[in-house]
A and B are shown apart, each in its own frame.
Chain A
Amino acid sequence: MLTILVLVPFAGALITAVMPARPKAWAFGFALATLIAGIVTMFTAPDTDLVWIEPLGVHWALEMDGFGKLMVMLTVVLVPLVMVAAVKDHDKRWYAWALALEAFALLTFTAGDLFLFYIAFEATLIPAYFMIGQHGGPNRARAALKFLMFQLGGGLVLLGALIGFFVVSSEAGSPSYLISDLAQLDIGTNAERWIFVAMFIAFAVKAPLFPVHTWLADTTEQATTPTSVLLVCVLDKIGTFGMIRLCLGLVPEASAWATPVVVVLALISIVYGAVLAIGQDDLLRLIGLTSLSHFGLITLGIFAATREGLVGAMLYMVNHGVATAAMFLIAGFLIARKGTASISSMRGLEKATPVLAGSFLIAGLATAGLPGLSQFVSEILVLISAFDYHWLVGVIAVTAIVLAAIYVLWAYQRIFTGPAQLSRPVSDLDRREIGVVAPLLVALLFFGFVPGPLISAASPVVEPLVNVIQAGE
Chain B
Amino acid sequence: MFESPGISYATLWPVLLVLAVACAGVVVEAFAPRAARFNTQVSLALAGLVAALAGTVAVGAGSSLGASTGEGALIVDGPGVFSQGLVLLVSLGGVALFAERRLDNGVSAFAGQAAALPGTPAERTASQRGLEHTEVYPLMMFAVGGMMLFCISGDLLMLFVALEVLSLPLYLLTGLARRRRLLSQEAALKYFLLGAFSSGIFLYGLALVYGFAGSMSLAEIGDVAAEEGSSPLLLLGIGLMAVGLLFKTGAVPFHSWTPDVYQGAPTPVTAWMSAATKIAAFAAMLRLFYVAFGAEGDIWRPAIGVIAVLTMLLGASFAVVQTDVKRMLGYSAVAHTGFLLTGLLGVQTDAFGSTQAVLFYLTAYGFATLGAFAIVSLVRGPNGEVGSLERWAGLGRSNPWVAATFAVFLLSMAGLPLTGGFIGKWGVFAAALGAGQWPVVAVAIGSSIIAIFFYVRMIMVMFFTDPREDAAAVVTPSYATTVVIALSAVATVLLGVIPGPVLSLLVDAGGFIG
Taking Cβ atoms with an 8 Å cutoff, the residues of A that contact B are 51-56, 118-123, 125-126, 129-130, 133-134, 140-141, 144-145, 148-149, 152-153, 156-157, 159-160, 162-164, 166-167, 170, 175, 194
Asked if residues A134 and B430 are in contact (CB atoms below 8 Å), the reply is no
Chain B residues, Cβ within 8 Å of A133: 460, 463-464
B78 to chain A, nearest CB (A): 14
Chain B residues, Cβ within 8 Å of A167: 430, 433-434
Given contacts A119-B418, A164-B433, 20 further A-B contacts (CB under 8 A): A51-B500, A53-B503, A55-B504, A56-B352, A122-B422, A126-B411, A126-B416, A129-B459, A134-B464, A141-B460, A141-B464, A145-B453, A145-B457, A148-B452, A152-B452, A153-B449, A156-B449, A160-B429, A163-B429, A163-B441
Chain A residues, Cβ within 8 Å of B499: 53, 56
Chain B residues, Cβ within 8 Å of A119: 417-418, 422
Chain A residues, Cβ within 8 Å of B457: 145
- In the bound assembly, the distance between CA atoms of A21 and B503 in angstroms comes to 42
Chain A residues, Cβ within 8 Å of B448: 156
Taking Cβ atoms with an 8 Å cutoff, the residues of B that contact A are 351-352, 356, 411, 414-418, 422-423, 425-426, 429-430, 433-434, 438, 441-442, 445, 448-449, 452-453, 456-457, 459-460, 463-465, 498-500, 503-504, 506-507
Asked if residues A159 and B425 are in contact (CB atoms below 8 Å), the reply is yes
Chain B residues, Cβ within 8 Å of A148: 452, 456
- In the bound assembly, the distance between CA atoms of A51 and B441 in angstroms comes to 28
Asked if residues A166 and B445 are in contact (CB atoms below 8 Å), the reply is no
- In the bound assembly, the distance between CA atoms of A134 and B113 in angstroms comes to 46
- In the bound assembly, the distance between CA atoms of A55 and B506 in angstroms comes to 9
| CB within 8 Å for A144 and B460 given contacts A53-B499, A122-B417, A164-B433 | yes
- In the bound assembly, the distance between CA atoms of A166 and B349 in angstroms comes to 14
Asked if residues B449 and A152 are in contact (CB atoms below 8 Å), the reply is yes
- In the bound assembly, the distance between CA atoms of A122 and B442 in angstroms comes to 19
Chain A residues, Cβ within 8 Å of B416: 122-123, 125-126, 152
The contact sample of 29 A-B pairs, CB cut-off 8 A, is: A53-B499, A55-B500, A55-B504, A119-B422, A121-B417, A122-B416, A125-B416, A126-B411, A126-B416, A129-B456, A130-B463, A141-B464, A144-B464, A145-B453, A145-B460, A148-B452, A149-B453, A152-B414, A152-B452, A153-B449, A156-B448, A156-B449, A159-B426, A159-B445, A160-B429, A163-B429, A170-B352, A170-B434, A175-B351
Chain B residues, Cβ within 8 Å of A55: 351-352, 356, 500, 503-504, 506-507
- In the bound assembly, the distance between CA atoms of A162 and B445 in angstroms comes to 12
- In the bound assembly, the distance between CA atoms of A267 and B503 in angstroms comes to 45
Q: Which 4 A-B pairs have the closest CB atoms?
A: A141-B464, A119-B417, A133-B464, A55-B503
Asked if residues B464 and A163 are in contact (CB atoms below 8 Å), the reply is no
Chain B residues, Cβ within 8 Å of A134: 463-464
Residue of A with least CB distance to B432? A163
- In the bound assembly, the distance between CA atoms of A140 and B466 in angstroms comes to 12
Count of A-B residue pairs with CB < 8 Å:
102
Chain B residues, Cβ within 8 Å of A52: 498, 500
- In the bound assembly, the distance between CA atoms of A118 and B423 in angstroms comes to 12
Asked if residues A141 and B504 are in contact (CB atoms below 8 Å), the reply is no
Asked if residues A156 and B445 are in contact (CB atoms below 8 Å), the reply is yes
B493 to chain A, nearest CB (A): 12
Asked if residues A160 and B464 are in contact (CB atoms below 8 Å), the reply is no
Asked if residues B433 and A163 are in contact (CB atoms below 8 Å), the reply is yes
Chain A residues, Cβ within 8 Å of B352: 55-56, 170, 175
Asked if residues A160 and B456 are in contact (CB atoms below 8 Å), the reply is no
B328 to chain A, nearest CB (A): 16
Chain B residues, Cβ within 8 Å of A56: 352, 426, 499, 503
B400 to chain A, nearest CB (A): 8
- In the bound assembly, the distance between CA atoms of A53 and B500 in angstroms comes to 4
Residue of B with least CB distance to A145? B460
Residue of B with least CB distance to A136? B464
Q: Which of A126, A144, A153, A160 contacts B441 (CB 8 A)?
A: A160
Chain A residues, Cβ within 8 Å of B463: 130, 133-134
Residue of A with least CB distance to B499? A53
Asked if residues A149 and B449 are in contact (CB atoms below 8 Å), the reply is yes
Chain A residues, Cβ within 8 Å of B417: 118-123
Residue of A with least CB distance to B500? A53
Chain B residues, Cβ within 8 Å of A53: 423, 498-500, 503
Asked if residues B442 and A160 are in contact (CB atoms below 8 Å), the reply is yes
B159 to chain A, nearest CB (A): 30
| CB within 8 Å for A123 and B418 given contacts A55-B352, A160-B445 | yes
B292 to chain A, nearest CB (A): 27
- In the bound assembly, the distance between CA atoms of A258 and B457 in angstroms comes to 35
- In the bound assembly, the distance between CA atoms of A64 and B430 in angstroms comes to 29
- In the bound assembly, the distance between CA atoms of A54 and B498 in angstroms comes to 10
| CB within 8 Å for A170 and B351 given contacts A152-B449, A160-B441, A160-B442 | yes
Counting chain B CB atoms within 10 Å of each CB, the highest count among A56, A140, A157 belongs to: A56
B244 to chain A, nearest CB (A): 31
- In the bound assembly, the distance between CA atoms of A54 and B352 in angstroms comes to 10
- In the bound assembly, the distance between CA atoms of A120 and B417 in angstroms comes to 8
Chain B residues, Cβ within 8 Å of A164: 433
Chain B residues, Cβ within 8 Å of A170: 351-352, 434
- In the bound assembly, the distance between CA atoms of A148 and B429 in angstroms comes to 22
Chain B residues, Cβ within 8 Å of A160: 429, 433, 441-442, 445
- In the bound assembly, the distance between CA atoms of A126 and B419 in angstroms comes to 12
- In the bound assembly, the distance between CA atoms of A152 and B456 in angstroms comes to 10
A222 to chain B, nearest CB (A): 10
| CB within 8 Å for A145 and B456 given contacts A163-B429, A163-B433 | yes
Counting chain B CB atoms within 10 Å of each CB, the highest count among A55, A123, A140, A157 belongs to: A55
B492 to chain A, nearest CB (A): 14
B50 to chain A, nearest CB (A): 28
Asked if residues B430 and A149 are in contact (CB atoms below 8 Å), the reply is no
- In the bound assembly, the distance between CA atoms of A78 and B419 in angstroms comes to 29
Chain B residues, Cβ within 8 Å of A149: 449, 452-453, 456
